[in-house]
């Protein structure tokens, strides 16, 4: 679908996509705060923890050692080896350095993958709720996103039946994200095996598994990744991960792909003609992150788990909202079914999730992202990667807002 052109000079491919909604809401919240409004932003998927000092020091050492020049387009050999070792330690995966491509964040990994492989008409299956950027990146790359709505009754996990029904001769990729942004749903071995069994029947379909939140799991839940569960899919899987969320390094922009060498070479070719290598200093920091001490991650996870419990409890106490307990990531994705059709104290009619988050922002200063941005109307997403104090205050405001609806 071509949206109304913003400017006739602009290419159709850009008119087909929207600005990133997570970024748009975050920027709006930032602008309101700058105007002096009392805003609590729960919109961005960004850890409030600072990047650990030992990682920062590695970046400072890199600058001082003059590591300020171009690196290999795919990332330094040292970082690619360190990434391979981390994937081995965490998921039992066996990749060589030439099968790793480091990019400027996970987003560039997905972009590289889609632009390198999609022709017009190729379909990409995306289970929804889904992270805002998947469909737009697919569209930008001339592909067709095929959205499959998962059900809350299945914990928002794609089932084998749903996957089989979505497959057509045009299907080129399945995009999986576990734990999922925005629902926090994670696939255990059984849930993943059900999907990989279907994929074994379709040898032309590739799998992009976005494991960005795989270290952020609660209550002892263990999530697996595709190749770990079904090594026969290794030759057609891209395992995507990065340092943004698990190491509190969003601004450093380092993501990576582990993929068969033939595809990796194409990702590198594209990257060499677009951004060249990711930042050399950020690469040095990422190398320290993935190969240095990992114990701070479990400390962060323990804090996220406490916050999750607090937030889910408070949201479920807000009249008209209901929210399942997420297994991973740092998002809550409550349903607003019980408040649709009501009017806020400020006189705003809540006829959609977008109307809900707009009214919430205007009347309480709490910024959240509407479910439609994640392809699932009737919900909204809040990030609980924010201080416990602010979360309490934000959830109290949400409760008061919902109590005031009539």
Q: Using CB under 6 A, list all residues that contact ligand AKG.
A: 20, 22-23, 44-45, 107, 131-133, 181
Q: Which residue is nearest to ligand AKG (CB)?
A: 45
Which residues, other chains included, contact 233 with Cβ-Cβ below 8 Å and sequence gap of 6+?
196, 199, 200, 207, 226, 227
Minimum distance, C-beta of residue 108 to ligand AKG, in the bound complex (Å): 11
State the Cα–Cα distance between residues 80 and 102, nearest whole angstrom: 7
Minimum distance, C-beta of residue 193 to ligand AKG, in the bound complex (Å): 27
* 47 versus 155: smaller Cβ distance to ligand AKG: 47
State the Cα–Cα distance between residues 222 and 337, nearest whole angstrom: 31
* 107 versus 342: smaller Cβ distance to ligand AKG: 107
| Closest by Cα among 204, 209, 133, 136 to 172 | 204
* 95 versus 331: smaller Cβ distance to ligand AKG: 331
Burial of residue 261 (CB within 10 Å: 0-12, 13-18, 19+) is exposed
Minimum distance, C-beta of residue 182 to ligand AKG, in the bound complex (Å): 7
Minimum distance, C-beta of residue 373 to ligand AKG, in the bound complex (Å): 9
* 133 versus 344: smaller Cβ distance to ligand AKG: 133
State the Cα–Cα distance between residues 120 and 297, nearest whole angstrom: 41
| Closest by Cα among 169, 115, 167, 117 to 146 | 167
* 75 versus 105: smaller Cβ distance to ligand AKG: 105
Minimum distance, C-beta of residue 101 to ligand AKG, in the bound complex (Å): 19
Q: Residue-wise over 380-397: b if at least 16 C-beta within 10 A, else e?
A: bbbbbbbeeeebebbbeb
Which residues, other chains included, contact 86 with Cβ-Cβ below 8 Å and sequence gap of 6+?
290, 291
- Which tokens go with 30? 């930032």
* 194 versus 301: smaller Cβ distance to ligand AKG: 301
* 132 versus 185: smaller Cβ distance to ligand AKG: 132
Minimum distance, C-beta of residue 7 to ligand AKG, in the bound complex (Å): 24
Minimum distance, C-beta of residue 205 to ligand AKG, in the bound complex (Å): 25
Q: Cα separations (Å) of 328 from 161, 219, 325, 398?
A: 24, 9, 9, 23
Looking at the DSSP bridge assignments, the partners of residue 380 are 370
């Amino acid at each position: 679908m071509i949206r109304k052109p913003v400017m006739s000079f602009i290419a159709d491919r850009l008119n087909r996509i929207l600005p990133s909604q997570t970024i748009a809401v975050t920027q709006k919240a930032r602008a309101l705060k700058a105007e002096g409004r009392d805003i609590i932003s729960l919109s961005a998927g960004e850890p409030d923890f600072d990047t650990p000092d030992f990682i920062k020091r590695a970046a400072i050492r890199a600058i001082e050692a003059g590591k300020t020049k171009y690196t290999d387009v795919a990332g330094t050999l040292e970082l690619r080896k360190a990434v391979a070792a981390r994937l081995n330690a965490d998921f039992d995966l066996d990749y060589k350095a030439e099968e790793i491509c480091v990019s400027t964040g996970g987003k560039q990994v997905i972009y590289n993958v889609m632009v390198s492989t999609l022709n017009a008409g190729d379909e990409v299956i995306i289970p929804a709720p889904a992270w805002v950027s998947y469909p737009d990146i697919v569209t930008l790359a001339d592909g067709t996103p095929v959205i499959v709505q998962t059900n809350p009754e299945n914990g928002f996990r794609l089932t084998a039946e749903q996957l089989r029904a979505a497959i057509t001769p045009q299907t080129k990729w399945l995009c999986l994200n576990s734990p999922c942004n925005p629902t926090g749903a994670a696939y255990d071995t059984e849930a993943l095996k059900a999907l990989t069994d279907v994929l074994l029947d379709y040898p032309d379909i590739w799998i992009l598994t976005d494991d960005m939140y795989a270290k952020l799991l609660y209550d002892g839940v263990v999530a697996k990744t595709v190749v770990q569960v079904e090594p026969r899919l290794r030759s057609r899987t891209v395992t995507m991960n990065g340092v943004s969320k698990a190491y509190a390094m969003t601004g450093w922009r380092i993501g990576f792909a582990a993929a068969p060498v033939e595809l990796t070479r194409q990702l590198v070719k594209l990257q060499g003609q677009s951004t060249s290598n990711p930042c050399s200093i950020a690469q040095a920091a990422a190398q320290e992150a993935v190969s240095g001490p990992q114990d701070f991650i479990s400390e962060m996870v323990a804090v996220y788990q406490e916050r999750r419990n607090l937030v889910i409890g408070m949201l479920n106490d807000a009249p008209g909202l209901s929210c399942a307990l997420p297994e991973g990531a740092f998002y809550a994705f409550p349903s607003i079914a019980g408040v649709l059709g009501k009017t806020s104290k400020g006189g705003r009619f809540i006829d959609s999730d977008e109307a809900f988050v707009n009214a919430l922002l205007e009347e309480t200063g709490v910024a959240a992202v509407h479910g439609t941005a994640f392809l699932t109307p009737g919900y909204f997403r809040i990030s609980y990667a924010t201080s416990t104090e602010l979360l309490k205050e934000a959830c109290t405001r949400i409760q008061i807002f919902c109590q005031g609806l009539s």
